[in-house]
């Protein structure tokens, strides 16, 4: 029963993509444009100021937090995951005819892009395994966040009163 449901939803995904090639391309470009914001220096500055502010806030509750190195990876990842969720939501809201399929198309594109970078970095002999694990977890979190944002957009569309 479960395999039939999965094959049915996969079939619907491929039919929507095949029937709406330009809409799929627009969804990928919309998500990609929003994702490119994370490569700007303004994003980096925002991330660093957020890390500084959250560090001050965490120090009130947990004075010895800075001796734990994992916090430096988790706090920025939470911000990136939140932004990725917003990207998924926006892609879903901008494509109301098939929000789940369009967000899925962007998530697949982003997964392939990030996987290409991960493979290239893994082949680098000077890369550290711990850094690769943190990057992989961050990237998996990004993809999951994009999909969650898209699901929220689809649910918001379904909850709106029809006029």
* Structural domain of 57: 2-158
pLDDT value for 54: 67
Whether residue 162 has pLDDT greater than 60:
no
Asked, for residue 119, whether it belongs to a domain, the answer is yes
pLDDT value for 106: 93
Asked, for residue 163, whether it belongs to a domain, the answer is no
Q: Which H, E and C letters describe the chain, residue by residue?
A: CHHHHHHHHHHHHHHHHHHCHHHHHHHHHHHHHHHHHHHCHHHHHHHHHHHHHHHHHHHHHCCCHHHCCCHHHHHHHHHHHHHHHHHHHHHHHHCCCCHHHHHHHHHHHHHHHHHHHHHHHHHCCCCCHHHHHHHHHHHHHHHHHHHHHHHHHHHHHHHCCCC
2-16, 50-64, 74-88, 129-143: range with highest mean pLDDT = 74-88
Whether residue 143 has pLDDT greater than 80:
yes
Q: How confident is the model at residue 32 (pLDDT cuts 50, 70, 90)?
A: very high
pLDDT value for 66: 65
Per-residue model confidence as pLDDT tens digits over 62-84: 777 666 666 666 777 788 888 89
Q: How many domains does the chain have?
A: 1
Asked, for residue 60, whether it belongs to a domain, the answer is yes
Q: How confident is the model at residue 21 (pLDDT cuts 50, 70, 90)?
A: confident
Who has greater pLDDT, 126 or 29? 29
Whether residue 60 has pLDDT greater than 70:
yes
Dihedral sign, Cα of residue 16, residue 149, residue 83, residue 65: negative
* Average pLDDT estimate for 104-124: 86
Q: How confident is the model at residue 148 (pLDDT cuts 50, 70, 90)?
A: very high
pTM of the full structure: 0.75
Q: Which residues contact 151 (CB under 8 A, 6 or more apart)?
A: 88, 92, 100, 103
pLDDT value for 89: 93
Cα–Cα distance for residue pair 44/50, rounded to 1 Å: 10
pLDDT value for 41: 79
Asked, for residue 95, whether it belongs to a domain, the answer is yes
């Amino acid at each position: 029963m479960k395999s039939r449901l999965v094959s049915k939803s996969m079939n619907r995904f491929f039919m929507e993509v095949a029937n709406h090639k330009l809409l799929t391309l627009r969804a990928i470009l919309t998500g990609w444009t929003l994702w490119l914001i994370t490569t700007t220096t303004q994003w980096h500055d925002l991330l660093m100021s957020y890390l500084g502010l959250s560090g001050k806030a965490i120090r009130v509750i947990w004075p010895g937090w800075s001796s734990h190195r994992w916090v430096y990876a988790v706090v920025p990842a939470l911000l990136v995951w939140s932004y990725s969720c917003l990207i998924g939501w926006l892609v879903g809201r901008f494509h109301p005819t098939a929000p789940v399929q369009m967000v899925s198309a962007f998530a697949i594109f982003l997964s392939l892009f990030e996987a290409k970078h991960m493979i290239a970095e893994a082949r680098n002999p000077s890369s550290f395994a711990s850094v690769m694990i943190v990057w992989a977890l961050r990237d998996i979190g990004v993809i999951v966040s994009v999909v969650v944002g898209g699901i929220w957009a689809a649910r918001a569309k379904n909850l709106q009163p029809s006029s």
